[in-house]
Amino acid sequence: LLLFLSHDTIANMATDLTFGSVPPLYREVYEIVCPNQEPVDHDMFVKIMVKSGLSLSTLSQIWEAIGSKTGCLTRNSLYKGLALVALAQQGKTINDKILETYSDQELPKPSLGELADLKALSIRIRREKNPNVLGYNYQELCDFDSIFVELVPEKKGLLLKHVEYEVTSRKHKSTVLRRYSDFLAFQETLLLRYSYRMVPRLPPKRMMGGNREFIEHRKKALRRFLTLIARHPVISDDAIVKYFLTFKGTDMQHKMKEHFRGTPDEFMSCEFSLKAKELVPVDTQLQFSNSRAHINTLINSVSKMKDIAERLVLRATGYASDMLQLGKQLSMLSSDSTPVTTWACGSIDTWSHFKAGFKRLGVEYTHMADKASSLAAKEESGLLEILEMFLDLLYSYQDLCERHERGLLHDHQTALAKMRQYKKKKIGSTGTTVEQLEHRILQQENEISNMENRNCFSLYCIQMETQLIHANLEAMYIALQLMADNEGKGHYESVEGINCYKSLQLVVKAGLILAQTNAQSKKSLFINAPVVTQNRASHGESTIVGLHVVKEAVRIHDPVHHKPHNIPVTQQLKFLVRSVHAIDILGEARGKAVVTG
């Protein structure tokens, strides 16, 4: 029966509503709030419905009108809640009996703002309820923001010239100018604030200027850096990021450092830091060690994949350059105006026929160069860029693990060493000295306890960053898909280009054979050959007859002409004759060349 029911009918049956029809908005809200069809508790309902602009007391009344005995809402109850919210926004009394008046019409739709904002809020609430799960997929991370970085055409500065970059953020609807030193100050500020998170590396700074290729590569690397920052679930919402993407004043790097001087790090401001020990599983160290080994394997493989992608781009670029040069040389030969008389060529007029063919062939090679150049650009902007961005993310994870071991554990060991020294001094001290040592020991114990909390918080952040790596793993699939699509399309276009000048290849072969035929041979040949004039036949027919003529010429002048089928050239020309029947793209120059021959 379900096969014959519409989607809306099935949805209405699932909700078990006895009145009104369900608007599509209700189902969209349910999928946002309950992606896994889990029940909605009071806390989730209130935080989501606050977007409606209703007071908390009004939302509590709505909850009481629809709330179940279990304290959670089903899909049906949530739909009733949405309807009552819509009625409350219209200023009507909150009473589920009013909904019975909608028995033959669509239920009212509440105003909850943008669904994208509602989805982000729902994810944040679910993450707060289960802080050990990141709760984002790759597409959701990509939707955070889109960053564009372009070079400013002219260098700035009176004596020391520098390059400026135009940075555009879709999320903040802003476009600002930034120098490389601004990026450097931005990264330093982020590392002070988020030392327990993945902060990507910056490309190197070249002190003595830099050629165009280096500047272009650095521009792409800076765009990847900002994109990874803008897609980070925690860092992207920080005021530092907004300041960098929106501030339009001068002397940006110094003003940013001054503006955020004294800002506490994430441990001091994050609500999870107080319960960090509870968030760290017992086997965290083992899982952390396994994850590091896995990430190192990914780095090794992805870096090699990136090298392969670079070679693909170089080969496509080199092929495009070679085809372009070949086309230019053929075009140059076809336009050669140097007079060639019988003094130079005698009775062989192959050169004049080749010039006509070279002109068409040069156009075809140029067309192939354009196709190859387009393929190289697609692979560089798609396949290579995605792999490089994912590799930048993996390197930032590697740096995070090194900071964790090098920084926090070293500080912890130093604090324990100081504690042992204080206790040794206490044993040999008396009176006031003992009280001072006890005070220092107490301070040191508090410091060690704080370090232990920081260590746990760092491990918790590493767990979340590891999940962020896995959320970005889909980039590898997208990169491989792009490579397959680009390479397949490139090979198809190459074959298409080859077919376009295959008939020209026939002309070249026929002309070479004619060049080896003496005048006496051609005379006896044309006596026995059927005559088809250009006025009485199309170019294709003339070409076919001409190839028959060439075949006959080879048969006559071969020492074993009584066995023509054993002659390789004759067999080849027979194949050429059959090929011409299947190819209907012969031009005027090609027809004239063969008929004249």
Give tens-digit pLDDT for 243-269: 999 999 888 999 999 999 988 899 888
Contacts of 337 (CB under 8 A, 6+ apart): none
Residue positions counted in the chain: 597
Q: Of 494, 552, 546, 500, which is closest to residue 521 (Cα–Cα)? A: 552
* The pLDDT of residue 442: 60
**How far apart are the two ends of the chain, measured CA to CA in Å?**
76
pLDDT digits (tens, 9 = 90+) for 359-414: 888 888 888 888 888 888 888 888 899 999 999 999 999 999 999 988 765 655 66
Q: Rounded mean pLDDT of 93-115?
A: 83
Band of pLDDT at residue 218, cut at 50, 70 and 90 = very high
* The pLDDT of residue 174: 95
Residue 60 identity (one-letter amino acid):
S
Q: Is 587 exposed, middle or buried (0-12, 13-18, 19+ CB in 10 A)?
A: middle
Please give the structure tokens belonging to residue 512.
Answer: 């070479």
Band of pLDDT at residue 348, cut at 50, 70 and 90 = confident
pLDDT digits (tens, 9 = 90+) for 162-176: 789 999 999 999 999
Q: Is the pLDDT of residue 123 over 90?
A: no
d(CA 155, CA 551) in angstroms, rounded, equals 67
d(CA 254, CA 185) in angstroms, rounded, equals 8
Residue 160 CB neighbour total at 10 angstroms = 8
Task: Please report the sign of the dihedral spanned by the C-alpha atoms of residue 155, residue 158, residue 161, residue 163.
Answer: negative
d(CA 185, CA 178) in angstroms, rounded, equals 11
Q: In degrees, to the nearest 5, what angle opens at C-alpha 544 toward C-alphas 540 and 546?
A: 115
Best mean pLDDT range from 179-188, 330-339, 453-462: 179-188
pLDDT digits (tens, 9 = 90+) for 52-62: 999 988 998 88
* The pLDDT of residue 509: 60
* The pLDDT of residue 562: 43
Please give the structure tokens belonging to residue 144.
Answer: 């955070």
Residue 151 identity (one-letter amino acid):
L
Q: Is the pLDDT of residue 556 over 70?
A: no
DSSP letters, 226-267, are HHHHHT-TTGGGSHHHHHHHH--SSSHHHHHHHHTTT---HH
* The pLDDT of residue 530: 43
d(CA 386, CA 282) in angstroms, rounded, equals 36
Q: Of 234, 305, 291, which is closest to residue 463 (Cα–Cα)? A: 291
* The pLDDT of residue 596: 44
What are the φ/ψ torsions at residue 35 (nearest 5 degrees)? -65, -25
Q: Rounded mean pLDDT of 423-442?
A: 58
Q: Is the pLDDT of residue 499 over 70?
A: no
Contacts of 432 (CB under 8 A, 6+ apart): none
What are the φ/ψ torsions at residue 178 (nearest 5 degrees)? -135, 145
Q: Rounded mean pLDDT of 335-339?
A: 85
Residue predicted with more confidence, 17 or 471:
471
Residue 327 identity (one-letter amino acid):
G
* The pLDDT of residue 272: 87
H helix and E strand count, the chain: 25, 5
Q: Could you tell me if 201 and 183 are in contact, meaning their C-beta atoms sit under 8 angstroms apart?
A: no
Residue 339 identity (one-letter amino acid):
P
Please give the structure tokens belonging to residue 413.
Answer: 């060991």
Band of pLDDT at residue 565, cut at 50, 70 and 90 = very low
Q: Rounded mean pLDDT of 433-444?
A: 60
Please give the structure tokens belonging to residue 167.
Answer: 């940075």
pTM of the model: 0.69
**Strand, coil or helix: 108:** coil
What are the φ/ψ torsions at residue 22 (nearest 5 degrees)? -85, 125
Compute the mean pLDDT over every residue in the chain, rounded to the nearest whole number. 77
What domains does the chain contain, in order, with CATH numbers? Answer: 2-129 (no CATH), 144-269 (3.30.1520.10), 293-498 (1.20.1270.60), 501-596 (no CATH)
* The pLDDT of residue 529: 42
| CA R_g for the chain | 38
Long-range contacts of residues 165-174, Cβ cutoff 8 Å, at least 24 apart: 165/219, 165/222, 167/226, 167/245, 169/145, 169/230, 169/245, 169/246, 170/145, 170/146, 171/144, 171/145, 171/146, 171/230, 172/145, 172/242, 172/245, 172/246, 174/245, 174/246, 174/248
* The pLDDT of residue 182: 95
d(CA 171, CA 181) in angstroms, rounded, equals 24
Residue predicted with more confidence, 445 or 151:
151
C-alpha distances in Å from residue 386, one per residue of 135, 200, 415, 454, 460: 22, 15, 43, 34, 28
Least confident window among 104-108, 219-223, 564-568: 564-568
pLDDT digits (tens, 9 = 90+) for 74-103: 888 888 889 899 989 988 888 777 877 787
Task: Please report the sign of the dihedral spanned by the C-alpha atoms of residue 202, residue 204, residue 207, residue 211.
Answer: negative
Q: Of 83, 94, 86, which is closest to residue 20 (Cα–Cα)? A: 83
* The pLDDT of residue 508: 55
